[in-house]
């Protein structure tokens, strides 16, 4: 990643897995966040659970300072690109985070 990028990081099943009431950190994803922040990229943490939930999870993982903001995932996107909105976006799965 040569240029500075804007990166949105999901919470559930990306930064953590939840089993019952236990949240289990996903180390490769947490490390990815730290590496991308150190490289100067702009990171946002988001979740269907909302901004406060995103912040709470990031804080519990010790990476809240890596994020510019904490957001809910959008329900609607109004954009002229329509279904091509994310055609330029690289998608990294949590299982591949260590490779990026």
DSSP state of 23: E
pTM equals 0.87
- From residue 78, how far is each of 8, 47, 49, 75 by CA, in Å? 18, 19, 21, 10
Looking at residue 3, what is its pLDDT? 86
Q: Where do the domains of the chain lie?
A: 6-91
Instruction: Please state, in angstroms and rounded to a whole number, the distance separating the CA atoms of residues 41 and 35.
Output: 9
| 3.40.50.300, 3.40.50.1000, 3.40.390.10, 3.30.70.270: CATH of 6-91 | 3.40.50.1000
pLDDT in tens, 33-81: 999 999 999 999 999 999 999 999 999 999 999 999 999 999 988 888 8
- Give ∠ CA 19-93-100 in degrees, rounded to 5: 125
Enumerate long-range contacts of 15-18, CB under 8 Å, 24 or more apart.
15/45, 15/57, 15/58, 15/61, 16/57, 16/61
Average pLDDT, integer, range 14-28: 95
Percent of the chain with pLDDT over 90: 70
Please give the mean pLDDT across all residues of the chain.
92
């Amino acid at each position: 990643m040569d240029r500075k990028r804007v990166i949105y990081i999901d919470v559930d099943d990306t930064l953590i897995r939840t089993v019952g009431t236990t949240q289990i950190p996903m180390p490769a994803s947490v490390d990815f966040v730290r590496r991308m922040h150190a490289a100067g990229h702009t990171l946002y943490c988001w979740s269907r659970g909302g901004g406060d939930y995103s912040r709470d999870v990031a804080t519990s993982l010790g990476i809240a300072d890596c994020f510019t903001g904490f957001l809910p995932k959008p329900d609607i996107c109004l954009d002229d690109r329509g279904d091509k909105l994310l055609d330029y976006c690289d998608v990294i799965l949590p299982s591949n985070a260590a490779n990026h």
